[in-house]
Structure 1
Amino acid sequence: MTRHVLAGAFLAVLATLTVLLSGVLGPEVQGVALLGAALGGALGLVPDRTPGQRAAAFAVGFAAAWLGYLLRASALPDAPSGRAVAVLVVLLVCLAVGAGTRGRLPLWAALLGAAAMAGSYEAAYAADPSGFVTTSPVAATAVLLTAGAGFFATALLGPTVEHDRAVEHDDAPPPDATRARPSTRTSEPAAYRPFEPAPEA
């Protein structure tokens, strides 16, 4: 538990520093500090596949979301139908990579990457779709910086989390396979009593 607290405290400090240093890192960092740190922290904590595989899947999802915005800016109509097609393309790319690698690049990590790009850039894109070429790199850099800090703070804790869950599983009481079944035995017969004639009137 101590390691969990230390990792969480380290993550909080890194996220706070990125906000305080936004004058150097760029003002966009302030708006995505919590988003990036939370997604990066989750990416580091979940003990599914190696940290490198998780980071690679995150990058794939991030790139897929960026591709979705590129399609919206260059080829798709600025309407619900265009946004729907972009969302479909992004999710299909994430799914294809997860299935194509047989889970070596986990789908959940790719979805985190897509969420990072969408969460950090959707508002800026909606405000100025024509500025995609100049605004998307800024948003991408800001959220990747904060997500990287979150991942760095928690990535080494993944094996500990996995070990703790295994210990909890081993310590859990086994399911009761011998539950009490309804008794099929009949009640004990009443004690024999000899016949007693009724008293005479």
Structure 2
Amino acid sequence: MVRSLVTGLCLAVFAAVIIGLSNILGLDLEHVALLGAALGGVLGLVPHRPAWGKVAGFFAGFLLAWLGFALRAALLPDSSAGRAVAAFIVVALVAVVAAVSGGRLPLWSGLVGAASIVGAYESVYTDAPSQFLSDSPAAATTVLLAVGLGYLATNLLAPQTDSSPRTAGRRRSVEDPDAVSERSTTHLDDLVTGAAQ
């Protein structure tokens, strides 16, 4: 409970800092402050081993979604069909990256990366698809800054363990949440592939 409160307060402060930086530096961060802080918080809070894998997965999804916008701008019609094809390609490629990495780059982090650029840039793209080369770098850098600050808030400032006992007088087993996640994922994979005993 304490960890959730402190982490949430750190994210709230960083969301406000992002908006403050926007005004000071003349950046257009206001519309992505909450989006970036929240997605960076998710990226920081969800356990995964190796830890670099979730960050690499995020960047893979981010890059693939950005390339999806490039594909839409260059080749696909600006219609529902064009958007559907681009969305299919992006999500399918994120899934392929996760599969090829053997789980080191988790699917969820790739989807978070894709969601971050789509959330920051979709409305700008819809207004001016022909301005992709000039508008997309600004959207990408602003949302990456916001995500980075959200990730920083959950990893550096928030407590990493909750040392308070859940109930008085009861012994609590302390177990690595990443190991629990890995075991349950492996078990689920065994069930899906038929390798479970």
1:11-50 map, 5 Å? 11-50=11-50
Unpaired runs of 5+ residues, structure 2, are 167-171, 176-197
Q: Deviations over 1:50-76 (max 9, x none)?
A: 331111100000001000000000011
Q: Which residue of 1 aligns with 2:70?
A: 70
Cα deviation for residue 46 of structure 1 reads: 0.5
CA distance in 1, matches of 2:25, 2:62: 20
Q: Deviations over 1:144-177 (max 9, x none)?
A: 101001111113569637xx999599xxxxxxxx
1:186-201 map, 5 Å? none
8 Å contact kept, 2:60–2:113: yes
Q: Deviations over 1:92-116 (max 9, x none)?
A: 1100100001110000000000000
5-14 vs 29-38, which deviates more? Answer: 5-14
TM-score between both structures, scaled by the size of structure 1: 0.76
CA distance in 2, matches of 1:142, 1:167: 42
Q: Which residue of 2 aligns with 1:160?
A: 161
CA distance in 2, matches of 1:19, 1:94: 30
Q: Which residue of 1 aligns with 2:86?
A: 86
Q: Which residue of 1 aligns with 2:132?
A: 132
Cα deviation for residue 27 of structure 1 reads: 4.0
Unpaired runs of 5+ residues, structure 1, are 170-201
Q: Please give the root-mean-square deviation of Cα atoms over the aligned residues, in Å.
A: 2.3
Count of aligned pairs between the two proteins: 167
Confirm whether residue 53 of structure 1 aligns to residue 47 of structure 2.
Answer: no
TM-score between both structures, scaled by the size of structure 2: 0.77
Which structure has the greater CA radius of gyration? Answer: 1
